[in-house]
Amino acid sequence: MSEITTKSHLVAVEPVLGNNAETERKGGLTVLAHKTCVIPAKVVYKCPELDLIPGDIVYLNGDSISKSEWNKRVYEIKGVKFILVPVEAVYLVER
């Protein structure tokens, strides 16, 4: 069985907006309600750089999520939807 692993300083997690983050509508846009916070996200693919495995929870910088382009890009492989988060946006790891 093949294993998917992230490269290039990226962590694959379940999409954040709409799942774990509290959002609000402002001027027709969806934004995070509390930008200065940490947002939990579930890891979906192995990330050797941070020694992460699927199922781990990472806590992301709320400010970078609200301002990022990477949070808007949702990918899907074999029915698994995910976003690719730069390792710099990961503040904490929970196993």
Q: What is the mean pLDDT of residues 8-23?
A: 77
Longest dimension (CA), the chain: 47
Residues pairing with 60 in the sheet: 39, 90
Q: How many CB atoms lie within 10 A of CB 79?
A: 5
Question: At 18, is the pLDDT very low, low, confident or very high (cuts 50, 70, 90)?
Answer: very low
Q: At residue 85, does pLDDT exceed 50?
A: yes
Spell out the residues 6+ positions from residue 20 whose beta carbon is closer than 8 angstroms to its own.
Answer: 14, 39, 40, 41
Q: At residue 19, does pLDDT exceed 50?
A: no
How far is 56 from 13, CA to CA, in rounded Å?
9
Domain spans of the chain, in order of start: 10-94
Question: 59 with 6: CB under 8 angstroms?
Answer: no
